């Protein structure tokens, strides 16, 4: 039986980074938490999934698509 485990889930700190932890987590998209949540609210960034009462995640494939789109916008 073949199992496909992709995509993975990312927590916010894995998307916007967290340099206060050891080891530091580099940002995929270097923006503030407030800017991120404002972008989610406005539909600019992907919608999150609640997988627990205090756990919010995003699909890695949706974040990759966002990064690709941001890179393409900057190249045009």
CA angle 41–47–51, rounded 5-degree value: 120
- Chain segment 17-67, per-residue pLDDT in tens: 999 999 999 999 999 999 999 999 999 999 999 999 999 999 999 999 999
User: What is the pLDDT at residue 7?
Assistant: 80
CB of 10 within 8 A of CB of 57?
Answer: yes
């Amino acid at each position: 039986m073949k199992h496909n485990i992709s995509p993975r889930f990312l927590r916010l700190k894995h998307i916007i980074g967290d340099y206060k932890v050891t080891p530091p987590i580099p940002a995929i998209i270097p923006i503030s938490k407030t800017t991120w949540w404002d972008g989610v609210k406005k539909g600019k960034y992907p919608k999150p999934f609640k997988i627990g009462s205090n756990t919010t995640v995003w699909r890695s494939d949706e974040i990759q698509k966002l990064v690709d789109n941001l890179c393409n916008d900057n190249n045009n």
